[in-house]
Structure 1
Amino acid sequence: MPMQYRPILSIDMVTSCSGSRENRTVRESFRASAPGKLMLLGEHAVLHGNRCIVCAVNQRLHIIVHPRHDAKINIESELGHYQADLQNPLVDTTFRFVLTAIDQHKELLSQGFDLKIESDFSATVGLGSSAAVTAAMTAAIFYMADQNLEAIKIYDHSLTTVRTVQGSGSGADLAASVFGGILLYRAFPNEIIPLKNIHPITVVYSGSKTPTTDVIQMVEKLRNRFPQQFSFIYSAMDVSAEQAAQAVKETDWPTFGQLLNLNQGLMDAIGVSTKKLSDIAYVLRHDSGILGAKISGSGLGDCVIGLGKHENPIGYPLLPLEMSKQGVTID
């Protein structure tokens, strides 16, 4: 039986709480979860003030919280175990996003807790596990502290955490994890526009992932060498995101698919495609059930997304992913 989620915030609401509590101390266990994401358009352009399209997916990361009567913090996941006292410095590279979120909100916490982190997806497939765990942990902290569970507040605080850990970051994957659905997103100045429609997809994992920071460094080196060309390319990505958003609003999915095809060429132009990624995109593109295909993510690995459901064998491993309207939740 599929798990039922109670949304923290729907797209059309400012707040949606599960009821106020007279006592700020949480005594019952609960679950916070957030979806993974797929970047659809504008992955690299968004780092330079341009717009992108990002969506949440139906595979999620879960944090099960068991409040304690002392100040101890215990964290368990497939990646390892961590234990500390809430009043002490919280340092561990494995759980740095979770611990940074806790550390930045210590003044809200009056008790310790046990955390169990579970994920529907691997951290190696480029679905934004860092953003998802940060969004879920921030929501859990606000719930324990009896704070208003406003999506924009969760996003803002989570973005501070991510940038504290990473030093930078567009926040697009975080926006998808918090708000759900398809979003038109800009980092600088910050703009988040939810788009209500979604569409079936086919997602192929390439079998490898190059660290995002390594890909960005490579692209930036090339951009510094050819700044004028990259200006044109990123401008084209920005316009594509705007046109894609309009296509989603009008449920004009063939146009959205054509924009995916065009932007696959732009990703190739900035050097983040490979022969295998290109081959996957072409196989998808020539399937009668697919309206368009491109790399999803920073490139040199990760996934290729096809808009629609494939009707013929693809010949590559598929990920069981769908777009999802559900963002961060507490239940």
Structure 2
Amino acid sequence: MVTKASAPGKVILLGEHAAVYGNPVLVATVDLRNYVTVEKRDDNKYLLNNVTVDVRNFEFDSTKFPELKKKWNLALSIEAIERTQKYLGEEVGLNITIESSVPVSSGMGSSASVASALVMAISKEMGYNLKKEEVAKIAWDIENLIHKKSSGVDPFAVTYGGIIRYQKGKCTRLNIKEYLEVTIGNTGIRSDTGEIVSDVMNLKKRFPEFFDKYLCIMRDIVDYGQKFLENGNIEKFGQIMNINHGLLSAIGVSSPELERLVWAARKKSLGAKLCGAGRGGIMLALGNVSEEIKEVGGQVLRTRISDNGVMVE
């Protein structure tokens, strides 16, 4: 038997970075997906293929796990195999192939998407039907091991799918009446989520009182943004996006490349902001502003908001 599972990428609509400290965040999944194919073996070895990170026909066994976790292009897959099988209480050999369409290190939750799809595919191939909550929590554990301090936004978003409000391991799907058209612009610059989160934490330590006020404002941004989105007031939602971007820029997570794309998009868009950890990666704009982004050197990712989370194909 062969099992194939997939999970989507995601974009943060409002509230990134503040979520690390327990604040709410609005997040949406998109129809770019990562795919994982898993097949049980007759021995206890593993064969891994992941062309995106230059891994081809790599065979190993569990005795190599500690050593392989230190390699940047293997750590995620190894953690996913180990954590999932530990959760299930048994170890079996597997052939695993990972195919990615979600850009890596871009702010679209690529690692969480791969982790969620791996957990789903491995568990299903081994004969288990995990609930989405279980998949999300295992994927969150994997993200914490990779990024050191994960808010849980990405693994929960890509597991459940749709437009959701997330806070402290709990997510609520929003009832959005109006179709939300968006354009994603990619700077083409990879960013280090762990490093950026650490820098923001250091800022919080240096200016604790200021940062507490900052978190209060970010909470209001998410609350007002959710209200405007649910009421179909896209113009005001766009203005809230612009304010959110300004605050993210103020704490040092924007970049010249992101600013160029954001301001180009705003010539026509109701709202535009960076997405994810920042300092590269992607930005998000309301409406179709593909030409505006291309004119200033940005890469346009053609996608749309999707309701589908992790699934077995």
TM over 0.5: yes
Give the CA deviation at 1:296.
Answer: 0.7
Contact 2:290 2:300 in 1 (8 A): no
1:267 is aligned to 2:240: no
Give the CA deviation at 1:295.
Answer: 0.8
Give the CA deviation at 1:312.
Answer: 5.1
Corresponding residue of 1:90? 65
Which consecutive residues of structure 1, in runs of 5 or more, have no partner in the other structure?
A: 1-27
1:324 is aligned to 2:303: no
RMSD in angstroms over aligned alpha carbons?
2.0
Provide the rounded CA distance (Å) in 1 between the counterparts of 2:258 and 2:171: 29
Give the CA deviation at 1:76.
Answer: 0.6
Aligned mate of 2:152, from 171, 195, 204: 171
Distance 1:283 1:167, change over 3 A: closer
Provide the rounded CA distance (Å) in 2 between the counterparts of 1:162 and 1:271: 23
Point out the structure with the larger helix share: 2
Contact 1:184 1:242 in 2 (8 A): no
Corresponding residue of 1:258? 239
Paired residue secondary structure (1:127): coil
Cα deviation code 1:135-194 (max 9, x no counterpart) = 01111122123323311111112212222343321110111110111111112xx32111
Q: Which TM-score applies when normalising by structure 1?
A: 0.84
Aligned mate of 1:54, from 27, 48, 53: 27
Corresponding residue of 1:208? 189
Task: Map 1:1-331 onto structure 2 (within 5 A).
Answer: 28-78=1-51, 79-81=54-56, 82-85=58-61, 88-91=63-66, 92=68, 93=71, 94-106=73-85, 108=88, 109=90, 111-187=92-168, 190-197=169-176, 199-287=180-268, 290-310=269-289, 313-314=292-293, 315=295, 316-331=298-313
Give the CA deviation at 1:311.
Answer: 7.3
Corresponding residue of 1:25? none
Contact 2:42 2:93 in 1 (8 A): yes
Paired residue secondary structure (2:149): coil
Provide the rounded CA distance (Å) in 1 between the counterparts of 2:119 and 2:274: 30
Distance 1:105 1:278, change over 3 A: closer
Q: Paired residues, what number?
A: 299
**Percent identity between the aligned chains?**
29
Cα deviation code 1:21-64 (max 9, x no counterpart) = xxxxxxx2121111111122111111111111111111111111
> Structure 1 residues 73-82 or 109-118, which shifts more?
109-118
Which consecutive residues of structure 2, in runs of 5 or more, have no partner in the other structure?
A: none
Give the CA deviation at 1:110.
Answer: 5.9
Distance 1:263 1:105, change over 3 A: closer
Query: Which letter maps to 2:202?
Result: K
Give the CA deviation at 1:116.
Answer: 0.9
Provide the rounded CA distance (Å) in 1 between the counterparts of 2:34 and 2:225: 28
Contact 1:207 1:302 in 2 (8 A): yes
Query: Which letter maps to 1:161?
Result: I
Q: Which TM-score applies when normalising by structure 2?
A: 0.88
Give the CA deviation at 1:68.
Answer: 2.0
